[in-house]
Structure 1
Amino acid sequence: MQDTIFHAFINKVVAVLQESPDMLGLAVAGSWITQEMDAYSDLDLVLVSKTKLSTDPAQMKSVAQSFGNVLSAFTGEHVGEPRVLICLYGNPLLHVDIKFLTPDEFYQRVEDPIVVWERDEILTKIIQQTTSTWPYPDYQWIEDRFWVWIHYGALKIGRGELTEAADFLAFLRMVVLGPLLHIQNGNQPRGVRKVETKLPNADFEALSATVALLDKTSLVTSLNKAIVIYEQTRTVLFDSSVQLNSEAEREVKKYVAAIST
């Protein structure tokens, strides 16, 4: 049933785009590529046009409204992608992300979406001529920050700002622990996306142990679990080019031990 809803929406979008000479192609990204769509999926569309639409949110919304009943829509600055319009459609209720690109912008891709409509095979030719590249974290960037972050989390626990400390651990899972565990297991580093099914049980249980109660003892335990995961994944993934900050590591571990008492 849900699959029918997705196809019906895409067909409607294609019918609208075909009427505009400015529109060049439509592709579907995300779970559509791997055929993992389910009743809880959103729809990730890539819309390519001659005119650069992403500089005008009002124009982006106008295009989105031509596809159906938009209940709410906003651009994706909060996820670092202002070219994406995040839409909630009604009748049926459907979450749709629309990325507005020009052909030149389509050359730079993190994945190869499935082309569902195009003029003169413009998207297919670009995909054939170029290679998509999923962004991977910079290990040195992580190491340069990790022990400062751990110290920050310890400060919050020590002060009794337990909710902020719990939020910090969520940040650490999203930015460091989840991506490193994914990479270690041959997955794309998508934060904590689908860790429940993409990671081995032992790794998922280790990551789950960093989810703390709003309690000092629980938070300190989870912070130490985060350190263990980082050190283990670092040993597997980092090569000799990554310079470890051993002094910061040593002093921060002492501090974490001190607030544990």
Structure 2
Amino acid sequence: MSDKSKINTIAAALQDVPEVQALFLSGSHGNGLADAYSDLDFVLVCENGATDAIAAAWREAVSQTGTIVLWWDRTNIPVLINAITEDWMRIDLIILKPEQLASHYQNTLKVVFDPERLYDQLTPQAPSRVRDPDKFLRQVEDFIRILGLLPLAEGRKEYINGVLGVYHLRQLLVDLLVEETNAPHRGGILHLNRLLTDAQQELLISLPPPLPIREGMIAAHLAYAGAFLPRARRQAAELGVVWPDRFEEATWKRLKQTLSLERPYDPQVAV
């Protein structure tokens, strides 16, 4: 069954359900960036929100597109239901009351059915993203904090934990690179290629793998520090964020005393 057929099947199953007022596509299908690998993200508007009756009606609708093999019913977010069918189609749903729909925008949704024309009441365009300086500073501090744990991992010979530390540093670097491109449609976690430039991807590929041995663990931490910190300093200057100099200085002092490591970049040149 094609995506279009699944959408039509779900719509037909819900249109006559009491309390259901509208159904929209969101995510990549909502903003026009869907590909052959995209999941189906829906927003369902109901008079009383995410009731048990609506959840049951949704499960029945999804089951008509294929056998359900995974069902998470309002577990982490009270209005979110996640489903996967036997052909591995991922189908996610947000259930909202009519007044809650106002937090969405026309350019992020596609109408499936909307007899009360709720879509027409929405703001046409989502505002441009504004970065949170406090969140950015917390990410920088977290990077330095993880880097500063390297002597502990080395001293205890916790090389597996050292690998986990590298993964954290890598994710912080990826987040930083995505912010550099300022892509308008971030999408889900599996949309990284379109968010990074070729040069950024080459940088990530060039970094050493996190090996669970002393030399590999240290080399990877140092390489990620050399990639992340100069970029982060430049972004801090652009955002007007005061760089945590004392924290970074104390961290490099500790790394030099314990592991004879030098800072892999010149902070005067970085900005």
**TM bracket, shorter-chain basis:** 0.7 to 0.9
Q: How does 1:1-261 map to 2 (within 5 A)?
A: 5-53=2-50, 60=55, 62-68=57-63, 69-75=67-73, 81-90=77-86, 92-109=87-104, 112-128=108-124, 131=126, 136-137=131-132, 138-174=135-171, 176-187=172-183, 193-208=190-205, 209=207, 211-239=209-237, 241-257=240-256, 258-259=258-259
Paired residues of 2:31 and 2:109 also in contact (CA < 8 A): no
Q: Relative to 1, partners in 2 of residues 1:134 and 1:107: Cα closer, same or farther, differing over 3 Å?
A: farther
Gaps of 5+ in 1: none
Cα distance per residue 1:57-101 (max 9 Å; x no partner): x852552233313222114766xx4422110123x4311111112
Tell me how many residue pairs correspond in the alignment.
251
Query: Could you tell me how far apart the structure 2 residues matched to 1:166 and 1:124 are?
Result: 50
Query: Could you tell me how far apart the structure 2 residues matched to 1:38 and 1:251 are?
Result: 47
Q: CA deviation at 1:166?
A: 2.2
Counterpart for residue 264 of structure 2: none
Q: What SS does the aligned partner of 2:49 have?
A: coil
AA matched with 2:232: R
Query: Could you tell me how far apart the structure 2 residues matched to 1:259 and 1:49 are?
Result: 60
Q: What SS does the aligned partner of 1:26 have?
A: strand
Q: What SS does the aligned partner of 2:108 have?
A: coil
Q: What SS does the aligned partner of 2:215 have?
A: helix
Query: Could you tell me how far apart the structure 2 residues matched to 1:194 and 1:154 are?
Result: 35
Q: Relative to 1, partners in 2 of residues 1:113 and 1:145: Cα closer, same or farther, differing over 3 Å?
A: same
Q: Relative to 1, partners in 2 of residues 1:255 and 1:204: Cα closer, same or farther, differing over 3 Å?
A: farther
AA matched with 1:259: L
Q: Relative to 1, partners in 2 of residues 1:95 and 1:217: Cα closer, same or farther, differing over 3 Å?
A: same
Q: CA deviation at 1:52?
A: 1.6
Q: Relative to 1, partners in 2 of residues 1:88 and 1:238: Cα closer, same or farther, differing over 3 Å?
A: same
Q: TM-score, normalised by structure 1?
A: 0.80
Query: Could you tell me how far apart the structure 2 residues matched to 1:61 and 1:169 are?
Result: 43
AA matched with 1:225: A
Q: CA deviation at 1:168?
A: 2.9
Paired residues of 1:210 and 1:223 also in contact (CA < 8 A): no
Q: CA deviation at 1:135?
A: 7.5
Paired residues of 1:169 and 1:210 also in contact (CA < 8 A): no
Higher gyration radius (CA): 2
Q: Relative to 1, partners in 2 of residues 1:126 and 1:146: Cα closer, same or farther, differing over 3 Å?
A: same
Q: CA deviation at 1:214?
A: 2.2
Q: CA deviation at 1:15?
A: 0.7
Q: What SS does the aligned partner of 1:24 have?
A: strand
Q: Relative to 1, partners in 2 of residues 1:173 and 1:48: Cα closer, same or farther, differing over 3 Å?
A: farther
Query: Could you tell me how far apart the structure 2 residues matched to 1:124 and 1:153 are?
Result: 55
Q: What SS does the aligned partner of 1:238 have?
A: helix
Query: Could you tell me how far apart the structure 1 residues matched to 2:55 and 2:153 are?
Result: 42
Q: Relative to 1, partners in 2 of residues 1:152 and 1:82: Cα closer, same or farther, differing over 3 Å?
A: farther
Q: Relative to 1, partners in 2 of residues 1:41 and 1:72: Cα closer, same or farther, differing over 3 Å?
A: same
Gaps of 5+ in 2: 262-271
- Among all aligned residue pairs of Structure 1 and Structure 2, give the percentage whose two residues are the same amino acid: 19
Paired residues of 2:9 and 2:61 also in contact (CA < 8 A): no
